[in-house]
Each structure stands twice: as structure tokens, then as C-alpha cells.
Amino acid sequence: MSSIGKKAVLVPNGVTATIDGQRVEVKGPKGQLDFVLNEFVVAQMTDDSIKIDPRDDSKQARAMWGMSRTMVQNLVTGVSSGFEKKLEISGVGYRAQMQGKNLQLALGFSHDVVYEIPEGIQVACPKPTEVVITGINKQQVGQVAAEIREYRPPEPYKGKGVRYVGEYIVRKEGKKK
């Protein structure tokens, strides 16, 4: 038994969910998302929750059970409250700023890096060394954060670069004489 899969996904007030075969569609105050479930699981709608169950007792069905429930939970959370990732930039002269619909990053290269923000994602720079990425799709928010971090990942000697807020960087000792 999947400890995650057997929990029902609660649908809060203000959010409507519909199940059409294997397609789960969720509408809420922040937008609309849908997900097509794997054929090894089946979804049922009750009063205020969605229940995901495996079709049979095969290994693949059990493997897809918890994942499918989590994907549906992410849809509900996304349309009701949304997702957020924060990045912090550390290093002398390293900074970020919004330039129209693009994010301009000064990361110690000979040129500024201009990142084009995809549709459905909002990026804000409350401080020059902080980037806040928000959206309703958890996968897309994480992907955008990873792409921005990839331009200059934190290095182990001085810790300079772009990192997630709260990320611990294992520091190395410099050369000995």
C-alpha cells in the first residue's frame, strides 16, 4: 500500500475539479491546469476530494499510484495558492534586474545574461541580489529556477554564484603554501 497514494486529495473552496476518463482538470482563482493520468491508475471524484486508486495489484500500478496522487495534489495547490522559488545571488558585482519581460543577470561574464521568461511564470527582483519565481505549475517554476541557477552555480571556494534560498554549499579549503 502506498502511504501517499491512499490519501485523498482535498479540493478547497473556490476550486472546481472535473474528471473525464484519465484526464483531471482543475480550475481555481489563479488559473486552470490539467493532467492526464497513467492507464495503471483510476481517479474518482467524491464530494470535496479526489481519490486515486491502482487499477490492479501489478508492480507498475503501485509505482504510478503515489506519483499520480502527488501530481493531482500539485494541480490543486497550484490553482489555489501557487508555487514559489527564491534564488539568491552572491558575489561582488553580481546582480539581477527586470528589463521588460526579461530577466537581466550580471554574473561576472563579459556580457550580461538575458533570460527570457516563459509564459505563465512571474519573476520579481525585490533586491538586486534576490530573484523570486512564482507560477501555478510546480514543474515549470522549478525548471525556470534551475535554468537561472545553471548560468552560474555556486562555486565551492568562495560560494559565489546563484543558489536557492536555504541551499547549503559545501565549502573547500584553498591551496596551502
pLDDT digits (tens, 9 = 90+) for 39-79: 999 999 988 899 999 999 899 998 899 999 999 999 999 99
Domain co-membership, 75 together with 90:
no
**Which residue intervals of 36-58 are DSSP H helices?**
none
Global pTM?
Answer: 0.89
Report pLDDT digits (tens) over 97-138. Answer: 999 999 999 999 999 999 999 999 999 999 999 999 999 999
Residue 6 clears pLDDT 90, i.e. is over it:
no
Kindly report the average pLDDT of the chain as a whole number. 93
Domain edge (last residue) among 30, 46, 80: 80
Residue range of the domain that includes 129: 83-164
Q: Is 137 inside any structural domain?
A: yes
Domain co-membership, 76 together with 87:
no
pLDDT at 134: 96
Domain co-membership, 74 together with 127:
no
* Strand, coil or helix: 99: strand
pLDDT at 1: 64
Closest to 97 in 3D by CA, of 110, 88, 106: 106
List the strands of the sheet with 23-28, edge to edge: 16-20, 23-28, 31-36
Domain co-membership, 13 together with 75:
yes
Domain co-membership, 60 together with 71:
yes
The helix or strand, by DSSP H or E, that contains position 116, with its residue range, turns out to be strand 113-116
pLDDT at 135: 95
